[in-house]
Structure 1
Amino acid sequence: MTLSQPTDAMHRKGTIISVCRIGLHDIPEVLSCGLQDFLEKPSHYFFALLIYPVIGLALFLWASQGNAWHLIYPLLAGFALLGPVAALGLYEISRRRELGLEIEWQHWFSALRSPAFPTIGMLALWLLVLFFAWLLTAEWLYLSLFGSSSAPSGPLALLADVIGTGRGWRLLILGHLIGFCFALTALGTTVVAFPLLLDQHVSLRTAVAVSLLATLKNPLPVLGWGVCVALILILGSLPALAGLIVALPVLGHTTWHLYRRLVRIDGSVAIDPKG
């Protein structure tokens, strides 16, 4: 295991929150920890994670009914922006396993009773704003290149337009570049924010500042983590989104362990494990 070195610290009521340096080799290590958490008792949250593939399929059906096939890919890609919110319960499961505490299905909802829940809600609202801004941008980009009168009649027609035309390739290139900017914004501001809020009940400003500092001090590992998340979500989405039942909890647990690698808490008051 890598011994991460603290590089910057923030002080809060006697608590020192230090941001540590990690390496790219830490990514597979935290993924392994996340997978171990998932394998411990996966049945406890299968029922909860099943809702996300269902939501994804509902979005797919909505887009197809409204002849908005061009929004299917942006919807699925943008869904990753909301991943940290979906993983709130998983952070608590990982925290309890780390402390050697009992784990039951109801602990998945412990975040709802956290004193930090209002702050978590504000941070979730920020990601929701990013999500809808991304969708509006994707819609604008498509209309600017294809016009409003050339809506594809189905996914195959859309694929032909995108792959077989110059404007389709412009759509692919510009769309991915713009999407990367949205993803980087979400990653930089929340990479450790949600676990930190649950763990230490800090302010929204502190949580975002620590996430930004962790990103600035570890640009390659954080970017590598973002790429890893994207690849796992793509693989999980291929079998009719069913793979997300495994991909989402593994990524959620892994995010907790990444937080533990990136952030060190000194002089903090222990959180009541019964919470």
Structure 2
Amino acid sequence: MQQSEHPEVPQAGSDALDLPFPVVREVGVFACFGWLAAAARDMRANPGGSLFYGSCFAFMGLVLTTVFRHAYHLTSALVCGFLLLGPFLSLGLYDLSRQREAGKSPVLAHSLTAGSHNAGAIGVFAVILIIIFLVWARASLVVFALFYTTQMPSVDHFLEQVLTLQNVEFLLAYAVVGFIFASLVFGASVVAIPLMLDRRQDAVTSILASLISLGRNPAPLLLWAAIIACFAVLGFATFMLGLIVLMPLVGHATWHAYRALIEPLQHPVAATA
């Protein structure tokens, strides 16, 4: 594999404030299928590392649904929060794709410390996601309290209402609130962490670049968001087993989405690792 033309991480002594604002490109409506194809190649090249992160996703999902199985109103909020934190949890997957793109053999151990060169910015972004998660959890409880017609549900009762469309007011309210929070996080994280990983960009600039990416590419990125949502539903419907493969696929594809959406730096800088 040839050495990537894309820039690597700036040297430790460089100032991220000196970096130009990322230039956002427009992509085709169905570009996400190319990202998924590239992600599949990444997974075939390094199945062990990819499946390791997928297993972590599945394990976390199982822990949530097991611990909170008797309080499903909390489980639903935590599961959605789990998905909101997905961009941060996929940091290692981005690094595996980045290593392969650079012509290196992907090393899992390296990916476990990915982002340490820009821990401050990534930490700020993680705090933002956690705050949104906590607000979403509270909003979920409020929706249940206002619109759920009986006592807080069990898993079976909750799924029964969803599948039979009982209590439509609750389902609509829950869907609208969830869509607002999910859209907020998706818009802010489309390319945010890959930017912080690849260029040592600050959190605010990375979030703004993500929002601009969504604004300039609404159709392709909404399709990409719908595919991610379908993958998540499929993963949970298979008792988390599907997450082992689907979440790494999404993580690797997100790296390729970043490469497609953000113009490379004109003057690449040296890598630290």
From 63, 86, 104, the counterpart of 1:101: 104
Offset, 1:73? 3.1
Whose strand fraction is larger, Structure 1's or Structure 2's?
A: 1
**Matched residues in 2 for 1:243 and 1:126: separation?**
28
CA–CA separation in structure 1 for the residues paired with 2:22 and 2:165: 52
Aligned equivalents of 2:218, 2:163: Cα separation in 1: 33
Pairing 1:57–2:62 present: yes
| Cα shift at 1:122 | 0.7
1:150 aligned residue: 151
Q: Which runs of 5+ in 1 are unaligned?
A: 1-10
Deviations, residues 157-212 of structure 1 (Å, cap 9, x unaligned): 3344556685x211111111111111111011111010001111112121111111
Name the counterpart of 1:128: 130
Distance, in Å, in 2 between the alignment partners of 1:226 and 1:214 is 13
SS at match of 2:258: helix
Match of 1:82 among 76, 80, 85: 85
Residue 103 of structure 1: how far off its partner (Å) = 1.7
Whether the aligned pair in 2 keeps the contact of 1:82 and 1:127 (CA below 8 Å) is yes
Note if contact 2:54-2:246 (Cα within 8 Å) is conserved in structure 1: no
Deviation at 1:136, TM superposition (A): 1.0
Q: Which string of whole-angstrom CA distances, capped at 9 and with x for unpartnered residues, describes residues 35-91 of structure 1?
A: 110111111243343122111111112212xx3123333332332111111110111
SS at match of 2:113: helix
Q: How many residues align?
A: 258
Q: Is the 8 A contact 2:24 2:261 kept in 1?
A: yes
Q: Which moved more, 1:49-58 or 1:187-196?
A: 49-58
Matches within 5 A, 1:1-275: 13=18, 15=20, 17-64=22-69, 67-114=70-117, 116-146=118-148, 150-152=151-153, 154-161=154-161, 168-272=167-271, 275=273
Matched AA of 1:155 = V
Separation in structure 1 between the aligned mates of residue 88 and residue 76 of structure 2, nearest angstrom: 20
Structure 2 vs 1, CA of residues 110 and 139 (structure 1 numbering), >3 Å: closer, same or farther? same
Does the Cα contact within 8 Å between 2:122 and 2:196 map onto a contact in 1? yes
* C-alpha deviation, 1:18, in angstroms: 1.2
Alignment match, 1:4: none
Instruction: Give a deviation string over 1:119-165, Cα, whole Å, max 9, x none.
Output: 10110111111112111111110011237x7133x322334455668
Verify the 8 A CA contact 2:195 2:201 in the aligned structure 1. yes
> CA 1:271–1:193 in structure 2 vs 1: closer, same or farther (change >3 Å)?
farther
TM-superposed CA distance for 1:16, in Å, is 5.9
RMSD (Å), alpha carbons: 2.1
Bigger relative CO (Cα 8 Å, ≥ 6 apart) = 2
Deviates more, 1:38-47 or 1:130-139: 38-47
Instruction: Give the TM-score, by structure 1 length.
Output: 0.86
Give the secondary structure class of the aligned counterpart of 2:241.
Answer: coil
Asked whether the 8 Å contact 2:53–2:244 carries over to 1, the reply is: no
Q: Distance in 2 between matches of 1:28 and 1:165?
A: 32
Q: Deviations over 1:222-246 (max 9, x none)?
A: 1111111111111122211011111
Aligned letter for 2:136?
W
**C-alpha displacement of 1:265:** 2.3
The 2-side partners of 1:59 and 1:155 are apart by: 13
